[in-house]
């Protein structure tokens, strides 16, 4: 490609511009071709799992620390603690999903890790995919501030962070000495941008939190 300057003629400048446009088109074609080649290599495989025809029961897991209640035909479910599991007949599980679908979408309910086929068929999460393990939540009381902050920073789903906050607040209200800890409460207040102000006030004697009567 020839160089142009203020002394170049109009014909030379037009030729220069035409050459630039040709090179640009050629480059774009090469980029498009490369993109198409990459797209050919990326094959997204749908998650197919064969549903077990002989499955009579489904493992249901409650993933909230608040009390919960669900009612379907010939069955009432009273949820009292995080990680609680129920074995319910498949036909009643189907009814439960139809009536309380939002609970599965919000992470309040999930199916057990032994029911991956059902989870895929219904498009809902298993407990391993959606909820924090109860053992991990219970371990918070023995974690250092560094470990707690590391857990929080590596928890990317908002539902999981809500589970952590709910769990810690419940333990605090219950009077668990592991959570009546100024350093931990100050840390959680910082991580949640002020979500533990009331707990800080109680530790300072400015406010009293009473256990909730259900």
Nearest to 98, CA basis, from 123, 76, 81: 123
Alpha-helical runs (H) found in 42-180: 90-99, 101-105, 116-122, 127-130, 134-138, 145-153, 158-173
Give 201's contacts (C-beta < 8 A, 6+ positions apart): 207
Neighbours of 112 (CB within 10 A): 18
> Tens of pLDDT along the chain (214 residues)?
555 555 666 676 667 667 776 766 665 555 555 545 544 433 333 444 454 556 689 999 887 767 889 999 889 999 987 778 899 999 999 999 999 998 988 778 989 888 888 888 888 888 766 556 677 788 899 888 988 998 888 777 777 888 888 889 888 888 899 999 999 999 999 999 999 998 999 988 766 555 444 3
The helix-helix angle for 158-173 and 145-153 (nearest 10°) equals: 150
Give 191's contacts (C-beta < 8 A, 6+ positions apart): 149, 152
The whole-number pLDDT of residue 25 equals 66
């Amino acid at each position: 490609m020839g160089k142009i300057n203020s002394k170049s003629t109009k014909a030379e400048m037009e030729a220069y511009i035409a050459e630039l446009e040709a090179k640009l088109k050629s480059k774009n074609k090469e980029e498009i071709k490369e993109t198409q080649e990459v797209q050919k290599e990326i094959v997204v495989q749908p998650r197919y799992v064969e549903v077990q025809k002989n499955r009579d029961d489904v493992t249901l897991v409650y993933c909230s620390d608040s009390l919960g209640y669900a009612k379907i035909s010939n069955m009432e479910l009273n949820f009292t603690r995080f990680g609680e599991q129920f074995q319910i007949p498949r036909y009643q599980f189907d009814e439960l999903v139809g009536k309380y679908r939002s609970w599965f979408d919000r992470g309040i309910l999930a199916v057990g890790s032994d029911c991956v086929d059902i989870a895929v068929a219904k498009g809902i999460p298993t407990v391993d995919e959606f909820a924090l393990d109860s053992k991990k939540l219970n371990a918070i009381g023995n974690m250092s501030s560094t470990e707690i902050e590391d857990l929080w920073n590596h928890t990317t789903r908002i539902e999981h962070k809500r589970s952590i906050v709910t769990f810690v607040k419940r333990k605090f209200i219950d009077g668990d000495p592991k959570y009546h800890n100024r350093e931990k409460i100050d840390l959680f207040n910082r991580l949640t941008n002020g979500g533990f102000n009331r707990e800080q006030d109680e530790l300072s004697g400015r406010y009293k939190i009473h256990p909730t009567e259900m």
